[in-house]
Amino acid sequence: MSAGPLLDQSRARALLERALASRELPPAYLFIGPHGVGKEEAALALARALNCTGGTAQPGSDLFVEAGSEATESCPPTSGEVVLGGCAICSACTRLERYRHPDVLVRMPLPRPRPPKEGEPADPTEALAFKADNPYRDPEITSGGLSIGIADIREIVRQLAYAPVEGGKRVVILCQSERMTEEAQNALLKSLEEPPPHTLFVLTTHRPNALLPTVRSRCRVVGFGPLPSDVIVSYLQERGIASGDEMNVAILARGSLKRAISIAEGGVPGREEALQLLSWAVDGQRREALAWAAGYTFKSAGGMRTEARNTLEELLSLMRDVAVIQSGDEPSLLNPDRADLLQRVGRHAPDGAGLGALMAAAEACGEVDSNINLALIYATLFEALTPLGG
């Protein structure tokens, strides 16, 4: 099986390879980019590079810039070359592929433990096993708010007090780090400020602004962009993820493998709901829309917010297309399979209605992870969409 799409994040890859080659790794990286474009894969590739025992690399060779010292002086050259991704076959690399290396700690947002275990770190075992089998899929989590909590970070900090078990480098990977609670971010700060020896932090996020500025400023940023459509097509084909129309899937996926897989396997999450809301707005079916929104009054748990985020992001992309059509540009649509509908909406709506709806959808997307009731978010958004009906 070929390597994943990290190969096609050429800028990020070059940055990381340069850092490894020059033995100048910072204490912490922040990988920023959309969902499903290879940020976690890159974090794992770094972890493999630093722990691989199979190639010419020397585990434990000093790859880190020591605070306040010249890198070239503090890091004597080692004989081996350190390769991003490691050898992929040694014991360390294969265990890492399964998230089973004792020196590589991976955490992602999980539901909080319920009493009597409240306040204890969430157990990531099941989620990591799922991730290992499905690197570009999300596990179904239907209950509870999803976060990386203070207990999780404290547990990691506790482990940092010990030397790495296997003598390589400890790598702490925090996936979707924007879902760290503020307390958790504050608990992490000290470790970022005074990183323990032999430790690298990698935080991934698609919403860097949700992180505290103090956390962001202590990380070296690496940007990840959307993947080219042909990369997505060949990934789907190589893995037998059939859709019959890979190219259309790749266009709808907007550069995200995670999204492409969802689409190929049964539709875009949230899209039907978004189209339904749009059609209610265009047809003036206020009563139906508000009754639907009211159904979310008591449904604001994590799984529901994930669903709502999908719906709102789909609506945002539909409104972007309507706004583009109204602006009169020769449109290159994000939703080419719905071009007829979107052009009809764009042409009939009053000038500027598309832009207004786009802004309202963007605002709703920003609110979905807050405490605001989902019913209220949907109802407010619906009112802002109604001008599309003329």
Amino acid symbol at 389: G
Q: Is 84 in the site for Zn ion (CB under 5 A)?
A: no
Residue 64 DSSP symbol: B
Distance CA 96, CA 105 (A): 10
CB 198 within 8 A of CB 163: yes
If binding means CB under 5 A, how many residues of this protein chain bind Zn ion?
A: 6
Bridge partner residues of 200 (DSSP): 171
In the complex, least distance from residue 18 CB atom to Zn ion, rounded to whole angstroms:
21
Q: Which of 24, 35, 74, 87 binds Zn ion (CB under 5 A)?
A: 87
Distance CA 98, CA 325 (A): 46
Q: Is 93 in the site for Zn ion (CB under 5 A)?
A: yes
* H or E element in which residue 110 lies: strand 110-111
In the complex, least distance from residue 45 CB atom to Zn ion, rounded to whole angstroms:
11
Residue 361, CB-side half-sphere exposure with 13 Å CA sphere? 27
Percentages of the chain per state (helix, strand, coil), in multiples of 5: 50, 10, 40
Q: Using CB under 5 A, which of the segments 72-80, 93-101, 170-178, 369-377 binds Zn ion?
A: 93-101
Nearest CA among 269, 279, 232 for reference residue 251: 232
Q: Is the peptide bond before 228 cis (omega within 30 degrees of 0)?
A: no
Say what the alpha-carbon torsion angle 155, 160, 162, 163 is, to the nearest 10 degrees.
140
In the complex, least distance from residue 56 CB atom to Zn ion, rounded to whole angstroms:
11
Judged by CB, which is closer to Zn ion: 52, or 274?
52
Give the tokens for residue 200.
Answer: 């690298």
Q: Which of 26, 54, 111, 223 binds Zn ion (CB under 5 A)?
A: 54
Q: Using CB under 5 A, which of the segments 58-66, 80-88, 204-212, 239-247 binds Zn ion?
A: 80-88
In the complex, least distance from residue 49 CB atom to Zn ion, rounded to whole angstroms:
9
Q: Is 150 in the site for Zn ion (CB under 5 A)?
A: no
Q: Which of 25, 30, 45, 90 binds Zn ion (CB under 5 A)?
A: 90
Judged by CB, which is closer to Zn ion: 165, or 294?
165
Judged by CB, which is closer to Zn ion: 84, or 289?
84
Q: Is 135 in the site for Zn ion (CB under 5 A)?
A: no
Q: Is 389 in the site for Zn ion (CB under 5 A)?
A: no
Q: Using CB under 5 A, which of the segments 45-53, 158-166, 209-217, 229-237 binds Zn ion?
A: 45-53
Q: Is 97 in the site for Zn ion (CB under 5 A)?
A: no
CB count within 10 Å of CB 133 equals: 9
In the complex, the residues that contact Zn ion under the rule CB under 5 A are 52, 54, 86-87, 90, 93
